[in-house]
Amino acid sequence: MSKCEQCIVRQFSSLKALGKDELLRMAECKTSYTIKKGEPIFEEGEVTNGIYCIKDGVCKLSKLSDNGKDQIVKLVKPGELLGQRSMISDEPANLSAVALEDMEVCFIPRTEVMQFFTQNNQFSMNVMRTICDDLKGADDHMVNMAQKNVRQRLAETLIYLEETFGKNEDDTLRIQLSREELAGMIGTATESCIRLLSELNKSGYIELIGKKIKLLDKNKLKRLS
Amino acid sequence: MSKCEQCIVRQFSSLKALGKDELLRMAECKTSYTIKKGEPIFEEGEVTNGIYCIKDGVCKLSKLSDNGKDQIVKLVKPGELLGQRSMISDEPANLSAVALEDMEVCFIPRTEVMQFFTQNNQFSMNVMRTICDDLKGADDHMVNMAQKNVRQRLAETLIYLEETFGKNEDDTLRIQLSREELAGMIGTATESCIRLLSELNKSGYIELIGKKIKLLDKNKLKRLS
DNA sequence: CTCAAAATATGATAATTGTCATACATTTTT
DNA sequence: AAAAATGTATGACAATTATCATATTTTGAG
């Protein structure tokens, strides 16, 4: 059983407010998992009963729409927590969490987190701020979905992916999404997504190297979006 | 200066957790406003420095998109609070709040609310739950915006409006939105909205009586959405 | 390595939606 | 009451996007 004190999640998440004794307690009751690319951490409707700390790997939070398509609501990266909203609302998960890469996560039971939550004011304030940020992000995202066309949303998403998850040595996007997943992020049909990628490729905005994507002119892309 | 004890907002919002002494303090520092239909309570980007209690009347929360159109994110009705997220994040408002009807609201300064927030655990828990509900609502809304077409979103919105704000004696929707505002809710061009209303009218789903809308067959509408 | 399955790509076409023009109705101002 | 302004409605058309069909390429199992 490893310590929580040096963990990346502690440094970047609400957990940074926890003291030494709290970290020790947490280290004792936590469960560590490795999750393979494509596997779920939890599914929409599932009772999670705790929060997950993302130590390594990126996952998608998505929701199945009535039309059978999976809409990706958010991507979550190492250092972040999952399941905070469900814990506070005391509700089943509203979204599914599925690994986009091999992941390392820790699970901390609800009972434990709620203790920190009521006893440690700074911690609860941090959690709340995170949820507020999510709310702001969701509102903004919604406006984009409603008001921008697919090309604009694609351009915006590509820039977001590069800025958030960085580039490989060959300047391609480090985060690897299938065309279907990319379509699920921008909210369109897979074919439309592929077609627009081709178009951006031909007009020199991006370069397609196999399944990898390189942004050639971020400023031009920004003007598109 | 009226008391807060019997106020509708106290009964329905996070404020129900406040005790007698807290309500007295609040009554002393609050400011009451009447706001005319069409006037803003606050605008996107404005520093609000407190929360608003909606005593009477409905308002829209909207955000200006890059393309110049106003997207309505949420409607807020009597008994609810405004500005909780901004208060906790300590940020300017992300959305504008504009009255859809004549309104009565009270303003409570940030300093006062934050005192309740740190001293009264039940109150802060209530606020948090509200924000969590908003987050869930925003995520769900986003999925609808991304995955449903305009006709489905219109049908869904009409049902929402009837179920949330009720009907007049003639069975028309009580809440009165302009076509432009309705278009702003479903995220489409005003003309498209008008056209689809006409179409639903002709096919017997709804009846248009001047600017008023009557839902004729809610089940058929539900199947549409 | 080889074959089957899955993912990516593209064409053809239809459906949806946006835009601009214009007409008509309602509200507000003078 | 007339005129102007605003909101609603509709037609014509263009642009966008979805759907279905079908290659082509890549991946993974055996």
- Predicted confidence (pLDDT) per residue in B104-151, tens digit: 999 999 999 999 998 998 999 999 999 999 999 999 999 999 999 999
Contacts of A88 in chain B (CB under 8 A): 125, 128-129, 132
Most A CBs within 10 A among B64, B121, B145, hence the mutation to make, goes to B145
* 8 Å CB contact of A187 and B147: yes
pTM (2 d.p.):
0.94
Closest CA of chain A from B128, distance in Å: 7
Closest CA of chain A from B32, distance in Å: 27
Instruction: Please determine, for residue B174, whether its predicted confidence score (pLDDT) is greater than 80.
Output: yes
Chain B: residue whose CA lies nearest to A90? B129
Instruction: Give the count of Cβ contacts less than 8 A between chain A and B.
Output: 108
Q: Given pLDDT bands bounded at 50, 70 and 90, which one contains residue B4? A: confident
| CA A18 – CA A21 distance, rounded (Å) | 8
3-state secondary structure chain A: CCCCCCCHHHHHCHHHHCCHHHHHHHHHHCEEEEECCCCEEECCCCCCCEEEEEEECCEEEEEECCCCCEEEEEEECCCCEECHHHHHHCCCCCCEEEECCCEEEEEEEHHHHHHHHHHCHHHHHHHHHHHHHHHHHHHHHHHHHHHCCHHHHHHHHHHHHHHHHCECCCCEECCCCCHHHHHHHHCCCHHHHHHHHHHHHHCCCEEEECCEEEECCHHHHHHHC
Average pLDDT in the B56-70 region?
Answer: 93
* 8 Å CB contact of B128 and A131: yes
Chain B: residue whose CA lies nearest to A186? B146
In 3D, which of A49, A100, A114 has the Cα closest to residue A72? A100
* 8 Å CB contact of A94 and B136: yes
CA–C1' span, B179 to D11, in Å? 19
Q: Given pLDDT bands bounded at 50, 70 and 90, which one contains residue B225? A: confident
Chain A: residue whose CA lies nearest to B121? A118
CA–C1' span, A210 to D28, in Å? 17
How many other CB atoms are found less than 10 A from the CB of residue B62?
Answer: 22
Covered bases, chain D (protein CB within 7 Å)? 7-12, 16-21, 26-27
- CB of A37 nearer than 7 A to strand D: no
| CA A14 – CA B55 distance, rounded (Å) | 35
* 8 Å CB contact of B131 and A132: yes
Mean confidence (pLDDT) of chain A: 94
Per-residue pLDDT, A183 = 97
| Regions of chain A with pLDDT less than 50 | none
